Amino acid sequence: MKKLSFRIIVFLVIPVMSMSECTSPKGINTSDDLNRWLIEMTIQELQQGYRNNDYSVVDVVTAYLDRIAAIDKTGPELNSIIQINPDALLIAEELDKEIAEGKFRGPLHGVPVILKDNIDTGDKMPTTAGATVLRNSYAANDSYIVKKLREAGAVIIAKANLSEWANFRAYVSSSGWSGVGGHTRNPYVLDRNPCGSSSGSAVAVAANLCMAAIGTETDGSIVCPSNANGVVGIKPTVGLLSRTGIIPISYTQDTPGPIARTVGDAAICLGAMTGIDPSDDKTMASEEKYQTDYTKFLKADGLNGKRIGILKNAGGYSDKVDTLMFRAIREMAAIGAELIEVDAPSKKEYESAEFQVLLYEFKDGLNRYLASLADKAPVRNIKELIEFNKKDTVEMRYFDQKILIEADSKGDLNSPEYLSMLEKCRRATRDEGIDKIMNSNRLDAIIAPTGSPAWKTDLLNGDHFVGGSSSLAAISGYPAISVPMGFVDDLPVGITFFGRAWSEPVLIEIAYSYEQATRHRKAPLFHLTDEI
């Protein structure tokens, strides 16, 4: 198996440890020293260091920016970052002043966070969705969740690369590629795909380029890259987090969500972003259901006594993944969970219907977003976007835009076809899907392998997607959490826990208990290629 060159290996062989396993970092006085110390550090450990005056927010942000420069843009060239926040250090200085005054804004004070580049920030970073047409599109205001992150003390240090338009442009495409950012690489094996569409978000977390990142999901775009990059991803109930200021695909399925190295860190980020947003009526349903602190559900014995459904027809695409799934089932049973096999609805009941729903909603949502940009972008709607792309050599170099064309041909959201397909999706995945399965079997959660090991990136033929389990939770709008389950050779794979609407607390209990008992997460070593 080929490795990186000696020069790069010397740089990358960094002690993989958390602060709980080490002596105090007092006396660290160089960015390089702190860079090594930050590897695999948790949010709580980081903030304890602030309270101990072990380092400053400026120290930490500088170390992460140095690591991005050394690993993302040179060295392995992960290419997970589209834009560095030019004000990151100024923000860090302000947060340091507050710490000196004994003030902590919230649970993310001084925590470096990276955003998927379809999330608006009212600062000096454009919001591009990876598309060249939006290369110079600067939002007037922060999105709702970015406001919440800043209020909690987060330092937004960068925007992450993604599958362009959140992978809703071409039937044949390569996840992690965008016209603005190029192709993101998997940090475990560099010629493997990071999955998407939140590719850069998951890669940045996996490679320790930030403490946490925010992705978005319509169907699989948080859990699939979490699976491929050995990290934790939470896809919340639609409506738990606001979508205001996020470039849309689907009104009924879109949601942002946290990506982190641990369930605990993801839970902290999740609580920091919840709230009722008058501009997103989906959030109204979360009233009296959302939490601002999900850490109280981090229970090591959270699996004990839980009744878990094993989705029978969710595997079978990889013998090696199935073997890891059987091991995970044994591990959960040893903790005290009761596991039973359950049948899932046939995918033919919702797959084609989902795609039609997405086409209608994409046209409606993207047209609204583009129109709102006024003079900040050269196009006002999908029709103009299609014409722009035809003339752009970067955009049309590898992939077509057949999904854009098909979406543009659809009618409005009063169309009988749209309403019929939407009802079919809801019935198949909710009434006859997750709700029926859980109620009839008295389940606390359902499990399935998140997906396959990462495939080799292929810009000519596109993704070689083998299998995944995201669609039931995605189409129903219900929550899912992907957690590392182990490795197939050098490639990580995950297990997904999903359940009823607003069941994030119980899913976090279960996911945290599994994580703490198994600890399958390992930092990447940036192999150039493999022989799998």
Contacts of 354 (CB under 8 A, 6+ apart): 219, 421, 425, 471, 475
Q: How far apart are CA 58 and CA 24, in angstroms?
A: 19
Contact, 256 vs 283, CB < 8 A? no
Q: Is the peptide bond before 20 cis (omega within 30 degrees of 0)?
A: no
Place of tokens 């008058």: 278
Residue written as token pair 């926040």: 85
Distance CA 399, CA 264 (A): 38
The H-or-E segment that residue 516 falls in is helix 504-518
φ, ψ dihedrals at 259, nearest 5°: -125, 130
Q: E-assigned strands of 117-193?
A: 155-160, 177-178, 182-183
* CB distance 146 to 117 below 8 Å: no
Return the percent helix, strand and coil in the chain, to nearest 5: 40, 15, 45
Q: Which two tokens stand for residue 213?
A: 């990142």
Residue in 93, 475, 18 with CA at minimum distance from that of residue 252: 475
Distance between CA atoms of residues 142 and 146, nearest Å? 6
Task: Please state, in angstroms and rounded to a whole number, the distance separating the CA atoms of residues 105 and 154.
Answer: 9
CB 155 within 8 A of CB 266: no
Q: Tokens at residue 462, please?
A: 């596109």
Q: Which of 16, 494, 398 lies closest to 170, judged by CA?
A: 398
DSSP 8-state assignment for residue 495: E
Tell me the three-class secondary structure of 214-231, residue by residue: EEEECCCCCHHHHHHCCC
Which active-site residues does the annotation give? 116, 197, 221
**Burial level of 504, CB count in 10 A (0-12/13-18/19+)?**
buried
**Rounded Cα distance, 183 and 475, in Å:** 28
**Distance (Å, whole) CA 483 – CA 53:** 33
How far is C-alpha 316 from the geometric centre of its chain's CA atoms? 25
Distance, in Å, from the CA atom of 117 to the CA atom of 164, rounded to the nearest integer, reads 9
